[in-house]
Amino acid sequence: MEDLYFTHMGFDFGGDSRMAAKVAEKMMNVDYVGHAAAIMQLWLKREMAAKKGGPKRWTPRYLKAPR
């Protein structure tokens, strides 16, 4: 899950939104129960909400945002 999160960030920062969306979809639909999955999915949800104009909340992308 951690690898998927950083892969998503790489595609997103690199401007490949199509691949970033594919990785995000895989992350949200992963059939894995564990701490890492829950945390990475929460970060991804927060980042997607911020991209749509919502508030920025803490993730590795938004280090200075409120938790």
> Are the CB atoms for 44 and 24 separated by under 8 Å?
yes
| pTM (predicted TM-score) | 0.87
Low-confidence ranges of the chain (pLDDT < 70): none
Write out the H or E segment, with its range, that includes residue 26. helix 17-28
> Are the CB atoms for 37 and 1 separated by under 8 Å?
yes
Q: How far apart are CA 57 and CA 54, in angstroms?
A: 9
For 41-55, write each residue's pLDDT tens digit.
999 999 999 999 999
Residue 8's pLDDT is: 96
Place of tokens 């969306």: 21
